């Protein structure tokens, strides 16, 4: 139960004056919540502020600055045709011309009646030697001036919501704030110069200085730390709960792993062996495993997952590998099948495509324990999929799944050991932030025999040369990917760009060109990928929404069109689709000039290095955590206030503080513990509170 003291903050937004049912939809879009609450608006902080404290006489106005001036309205000069409507105003020191474009005459005359005194606020400029204000931000009478904040907060908006509506609603939300018991360590608060939680929110929504709302301000840092501590405390409490469930010894005797190693066409790297040692130690331990395996593109995570699964199968139990898309699930199955068969491991695949009698038979075999290893999509944790004895689950591309989905898979067995994998190296800051409840293994080495990829940037003006180069490469027996530009976050719009490029290349190369995109049926996609892998269509045009994750060693050319539109991690992922065979591979980053500073840095980093961990750190610096991990599209807890790229120092402190709290006061029963329960509720970490109350 949420404490009653928080009820006013968790009331629906419509409980605020001036927020009717019609505004719920735009507010829902703005606050990213179907049914927004007062607290959601409180955490929608201003991103900047306008300083309206300058109240000069007209003769003292500084051009190109914002000023609020008191004027007498002298006359109106209506515009003819496209000419603007002008209002001539003055005070005892000078004259100000106020200009409006395309505003109805009646409205201007109502706002600025001749002979009346008005206060106008906005940017003042010089035009033909005259002071001029174009479209003032505010036109006020005496009463309106009294309500005008001297420092006006600026919130991000959405269609259907004006600045005034959001600002007034935010002030209504602020009025609901009550002082709450302090949950932070008193010495820490003092050393940082932090104000209390409620006072910080009041000042952010009603700043006294523009610097109050700056991203690096002390007020924001206070709230960011509150959010980070809530998150880290929830992680450690949930981790402790998982650890309380005794694990089972799933160590195995090594016989299946030995057979797999013999069947491998390469020897394991040092980091693969180290990761396997760490996993084997976890599997033998009496507590449940919760480990993150992160590796660079092509570092061999799938083999590590298979060998770990084999250990559990040696112990007489079952294992599952879950991938976010059907293409990736089938790719895993294709890679694993020959190795599993060589070791005598009974394996199968389950996706949305398996239906009818074949699916029924598969589920019966799974429940009877006749399948040792099941690979699939989220279909694995659906109702009706029952394992005889699931002991080990692998979740690939963890950031595509929410915590609940990984727990749903883990709940298919008793004390299931969990390994989550990502092929997108994650910066240390974000590992601590999002995966603080996990132990971490890293694969930093590439398997022997991988040739470095020659990465070049080429202007789109040289498109014909690039097409010629692709033609030459294909005539020599290689394959080429052509990735089309990310037009916007819309599959249909991106698809149009891909279809245009497909037609263009087909006119040149005929039946040698294939196309893959997210609107295709799964069977069509598989056919297109198979035609590419076999060399029937050695040029593959693709949108980005599709995982072009199929392993085609013959592919040695990667063309990424308008590469400046992509994030660094995504470029690195796409580049990793080539360089998988023995031949020299090339990645061409086509860009549209002129390049902005961020795009230039991004493309330069791609040329400099193929180290995914280094690239990930640069990506975080350039884009911020929400974009790097795609929290907006995934189950990850995207932060409302904290920004890991800005608040790195606070993350480590929050982790340590959370660990100390959980060790000293696991039930949050002390005075500080009870205040921390409020903090967990405020940042929607109710699940952690329920764990304590149930425990």
Q: pLDDT digit string (tens) for 228-249?
A: 999 899 888 877 776 666 678 8
From 580, 609, 638, the end of a domain falls on: 609
Angle 463-475/491-509 helices, nearest 10 degrees? 60
**Do 12 and 118 share a domain, yes or no?**
no
Q: Which of 558, 614, 544 is nearest to 588 (CA)?
A: 558
Integer Cα distance of 534 and 567 in angstroms: 31
**Mean pLDDT score of the chain:** 88
Q: Which of 575, 611, 361 is nearest to 481 (CA)?
A: 575
**Residue 640, helix vs strand vs coil:** coil
What are 239's two structure tokens? Answer: 């981790």
**Do 142 and 273 share a domain, yes or no?**
no
Q: pLDDT digit string (tens) for 184-199?
A: 999 999 999 999 999 9
pLDDT at position 122: 95
Q: Are strands 130-134 and 85-90 parallel, antiparallel or unpaired?
A: unpaired
**Do 126 and 143 share a domain, yes or no?**
yes
Q: Which of 503, 578, 593 is nearest to 548 (CA)?
A: 578
Q: Which of 69, 105, 66 is nearest to 84 (CA)?
A: 105
Angle 301-314/270-284 helices, nearest 10 degrees? 30
**Do 584 and 460 share a domain, yes or no?**
yes
pLDDT at position 493: 61
Q: What is the mean pLDDT of residues 532-549?
A: 80
Of the pLDDT bands very low, low, confident and very high (cuts 50, 70, 90), residue 80 is: confident
pLDDT at position 127: 92
Burial of 579 (0-12, 13-18, 19+ CB in 10 A): buried
What are 111's two structure tokens? Answer: 């706002």
User: Which tops the pLDDT comparison, 308 or 242?
Assistant: 308
Q: pLDDT digit string (tens) for 594-604?
A: 998 888 999 99
User: What phi and psi, each to the nearest 5 degrees, are found at residue 385?
Assistant: -95, 100
Q: Are 159 and 31 in contact (CB under 8 A)?
A: no
Q: What are the DSSP calls for 26-63, one per residue?
A: HHHHHHT-SS-BHHHHHTS--SEEEE------GGGPPT
Sign for the pseudo-dihedral over CA of 473, 476, 478, 484: positive
Asked if residue 314 belongs to a domain, the reply is yes
**Do 137 and 163 share a domain, yes or no?**
no
Q: Is 50 exceeded by the pLDDT of residue 636?
A: no
**Do 345 and 370 share a domain, yes or no?**
yes
Of the pLDDT bands very low, low, confident and very high (cuts 50, 70, 90), residue 541 is: very high
Q: Which of 661, 618, 521 is nearest to 234 (CA)?
A: 661
In 69-151, which ranges are continuous DSSP H helix? 105-111, 142-147
Integer Cα distance of 326 and 405 in angstroms: 16
What are 222's two structure tokens? Answer: 């206070």
Sheet strands (E) in 377-483: 390-396, 417-422, 439-443, 453-459, 479-483
**Residue 355, helix vs strand vs coil:** coil
**Do 114 and 183 share a domain, yes or no?**
no
Q: Percent of the chain, pLDDT > 90?
A: 62
Of the pLDDT bands very low, low, confident and very high (cuts 50, 70, 90), residue 665 is: very high
User: What phi and psi, each to the nearest 5 degrees, are found at residue 105?
Assistant: -55, -45
For 400, residues 6+ apart whose C-beta sits below 8 A from its C-beta are: 324, 630, 634, 635
**Do 77 and 164 share a domain, yes or no?**
no
Of the pLDDT bands very low, low, confident and very high (cuts 50, 70, 90), residue 404 is: low
Q: Are 43 and 49 in contact (CB under 8 A)?
A: no
From 584, 609, 634, the end of a domain falls on: 609
Sign for the pseudo-dihedral over CA of 677, 680, 682, 684: negative
Range of weakest confidence among 4-13, 115-124, 213-222, 576-585: 576-585
Report the first-to-last Cα separation within the chain, whole angstroms: 15
Burial of 150 (0-12, 13-18, 19+ CB in 10 A): middle
Residue 85 bridge partners (DSSP) = 100
Integer Cα distance of 640 and 286 in angstroms: 37
The 8-class DSSP code of residue 276 comes to H
Polymer length of the chain: 695
Integer Cα distance of 276 and 268 in angstroms: 10
User: Which tops the pLDDT comparison, 620 or 345?
Assistant: 345
Range of weakest confidence among 35-44, 177-186, 292-301: 292-301
User: Which tops the pLDDT comparison, 655 or 492?
Assistant: 655
Integer Cα distance of 210 and 492 in angstroms: 42
Of the pLDDT bands very low, low, confident and very high (cuts 50, 70, 90), residue 632 is: very low
* CATH label of the domain that carries residue 137: 2.40.50.140
Of the pLDDT bands very low, low, confident and very high (cuts 50, 70, 90), residue 496 is: confident
Q: What is the mean pLDDT of residues 274-282?
A: 95
pLDDT at position 567: 83
Q: Are 362 and 337 in contact (CB under 8 A)?
A: no
Q: Are 520 and 528 in contact (CB under 8 A)?
A: yes
Q: Is 50 exceeded by the pLDDT of residue 630?
A: no
pLDDT at position 468: 96
Of the pLDDT bands very low, low, confident and very high (cuts 50, 70, 90), residue 431 is: confident
Core vs surface per residue 334-373: b (16+ CB within 10 A) or e = eebbebbeebebebbbbbebbeeeebeebbeebeeeebbb
Of the pLDDT bands very low, low, confident and very high (cuts 50, 70, 90), residue 415 is: confident
Q: Is 80 exceeded by the pLDDT of residue 635?
A: no
Q: Which of 450, 486, 426 is nearest to 625 (CA)?
A: 426
Asked if residue 529 belongs to a domain, the reply is yes
**Do 297 and 395 share a domain, yes or no?**
yes
Q: pLDDT digit string (tens) for 99-111?
A: 999 899 999 999 9
Residue 70 bridge partners (DSSP) = 119
Residue 439 bridge partners (DSSP) = 291
Asked if residue 443 belongs to a domain, the reply is no
Asked if residue 192 belongs to a domain, the reply is yes
Q: Is 90 exceeded by the pLDDT of residue 117?
A: yes
Asked if residue 225 belongs to a domain, the reply is no
Asked if residue 116 belongs to a domain, the reply is yes
Integer Cα distance of 357 and 349 in angstroms: 15
pLDDT at position 407: 65
Q: Is 50 exceeded by the pLDDT of residue 548?
A: no
**Do 376 and 484 share a domain, yes or no?**
no
Asked if residue 142 belongs to a domain, the reply is yes
Integer Cα distance of 613 and 297 in angstroms: 10
pLDDT at position 469: 96
pLDDT at position 326: 82
For residue 690, the surrounding DSSP H or E stretch is: helix 686-694
Q: Is 90 exceeded by the pLDDT of residue 434?
A: no
Q: Is 70 exceeded by the pLDDT of residue 487?
A: no
User: By 3-state DSSP, what share of the chain in percent is helix, strand and coil, each rounded to 5?
Assistant: 45, 20, 35
Q: Are strands 130-134 and 117-127 parallel, antiparallel or unpaired?
A: antiparallel
Q: How many helices (H) and strands (E) does the chain have?
A: 25, 21
pLDDT at position 254: 94
Q: Is 70 exceeded by the pLDDT of residue 155?
A: yes
For 3, residues 6+ apart whose C-beta sits below 8 A from its C-beta are: 677, 678, 681
Q: pLDDT digit string (tens) for 351-383?
A: 988 889 999 999 999 999 999 999 998 888 888
Q: Is 60 exceeded by the pLDDT of residue 631?
A: no
What are 272's two structure tokens? Answer: 């693969």
Total number of domains constituting the chain: 4
Sheet strands (E) in 377-437: 390-396, 417-422
Tokens 């304590």 belong to 692
Q: What are the DSSP calls for 199-262, one per residue?
A: HHHHHHHS-SSGGGGSTT-HHHHHHHHHHHHHHHHHHHHHHHHHHHSB-------SHHHHHHHH
Asked if residue 434 belongs to a domain, the reply is no
* CATH label of the domain that carries residue 401: 3.40.50.300
From 579, 609, 639, the end of a domain falls on: 609
**Do 39 and 112 share a domain, yes or no?**
no
Domain residue limits at 470: 453-609
Q: What is the mean pLDDT of residues 391-396?
A: 91
Q: What is the mean pLDDT of residues 198-212?
A: 96
Q: Percent of the chain, pLDDT > 70?
A: 92
Q: Are 655 and 162 in contact (CB under 8 A)?
A: no
**Do 265 and 412 share a domain, yes or no?**
yes
For residue 605, the surrounding DSSP H or E stretch is: helix 597-608
Q: Are 111 and 139 in contact (CB under 8 A)?
A: yes
């Amino acid at each position: 139960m949420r404490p009653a003291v928080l009820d006013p903050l968790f009331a629906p937004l419509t409980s605020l004056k001036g927020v009717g049912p019609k505004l719920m939809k735009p507010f829902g879009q703005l606050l990213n919540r179907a049914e927004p609450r007062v607290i959601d608006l409180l955490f929608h902080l201003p991103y900047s502020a306008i300083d309206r404290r300058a109240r000069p006489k007209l003769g003292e106005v500084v051009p190109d600055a914002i000023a609020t001036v008191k004027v007498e309205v002298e006359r109106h000069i209506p515009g003819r045709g496209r000419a603007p409507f002008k209002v001539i105003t003055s005070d005892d020191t000078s004259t100000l011309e106020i200009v409006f474009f395309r505003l109805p005459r009646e409205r201007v005359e109502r706002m600025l009646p001749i002979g009346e005194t008005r206060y106008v606020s906005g940017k003042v400029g010089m035009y033909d030697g005259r002071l001029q204000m174009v479209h003032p931000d505010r036109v006020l009478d005496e009463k309106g001036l009294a309500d005008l904040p001297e420092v006006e907060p600026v919130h991000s908006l959405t269609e259907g919501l004006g600045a005034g509506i959001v600002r007034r609603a935010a002030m209504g939300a602020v009025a609901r704030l009550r002082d709450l018991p302090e949950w932070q360590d008193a010495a820490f608060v003092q050393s940082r110069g932090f104000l209390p939680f409620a006072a910080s929110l009041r000042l952010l929504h009603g700043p006294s200085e523009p610097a109050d709302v700056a991203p690096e301000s002390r007020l924001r840092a206070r709230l960011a730390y509150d959010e980070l501590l809530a998150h880290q405390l929830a992680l450690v409490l949930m981790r402790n709960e998982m650890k309380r469930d005794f694990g089972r010894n799933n160590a195995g005797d090594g016989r299946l792993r030995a057979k797999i190693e013999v069947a491998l066409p390469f020897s394991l790297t040092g980091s693969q062996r180290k990761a396997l040692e760490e996993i084997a130690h976890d599997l033998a331990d009496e507590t449940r495993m919760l480990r993150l395996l992160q590796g660079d593109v092509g570092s061999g995570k799938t083999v590590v997952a298979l060998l770990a699964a084999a250990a559990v199968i040696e112990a007489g139990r079952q294992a599952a590998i879950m991938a976010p898309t059907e293409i990736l699930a089938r790719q895993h199955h294709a890679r694993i099948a020959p190795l599993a068969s060589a070791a005598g491991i009974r394996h199968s695949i389950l996706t949305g495509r398996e239906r009818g009698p074949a699916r029924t038979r598969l589920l019966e075999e799974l429940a009877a324990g006749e399948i040792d290893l099941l690979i699939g999509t989220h279909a694995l944790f659906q109702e009706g999929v029952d394992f005889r004895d699931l002991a080990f689950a692998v979740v690939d591309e963890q950031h595509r799944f929410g915590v609940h989905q990984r727990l749903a898979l883990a709940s298919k067995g008793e004390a299931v050991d969990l390994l989550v994998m990502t092929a997108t190296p994650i910066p240390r800051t974000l590992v601590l932030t999002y995966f603080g409840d996990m132990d971490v293994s890293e694969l930093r080495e590439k398997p022997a025999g991988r040739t470095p990829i020659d990465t070049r940037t080429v202007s789109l003006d040289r498109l014909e040369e690039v097409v010629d180069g692709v033609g030459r490469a294909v005539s020599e027996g290689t394959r080429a990917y052509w990735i089309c530009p990310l037009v916007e976050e819309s599959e249909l719009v991106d698809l149009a760009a891909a279809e245009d490029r497909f037609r263009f290349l087909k006119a040149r190369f005929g039946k040698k060109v294939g196309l893959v995109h997210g609107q295709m049926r799964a069977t069509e996609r598989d056919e297109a990928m198979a035609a590419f892998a076999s060399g029937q269509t050695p040029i593959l045009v693709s949108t980005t929404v599709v995982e072009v994750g199929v392993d085609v060693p013959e592919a040695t050319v990667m063309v990424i069109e308008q590469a400046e539109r992509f994030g660094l991690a995504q470029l690195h992922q796409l580049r990793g689709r080539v360089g998988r065979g023995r031949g020299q591979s090339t990645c061409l980053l086509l860009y549209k000039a002129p390049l902005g500073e961020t795009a230039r840095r991004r493309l330069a980093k791609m040329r400099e290095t193929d180290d995914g961990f280094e690239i990930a750190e640069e990506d975080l610096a350039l884009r911020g955590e929400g974009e790097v991990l795609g929290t907006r599209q995934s189950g990850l807890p995207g932060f409302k206030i904290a920004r890991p790229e800005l608040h790195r120092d606070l993350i480590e402190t929050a982790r340590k503080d959370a660990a100390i709290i959980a060790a000293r006061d696991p039930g949050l029963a002390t005075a500080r513990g009870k205040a921390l329960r409020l903090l967990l509720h405020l940042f929607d970490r109710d699940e952690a509170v329920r764990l304590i109350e149930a425990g």
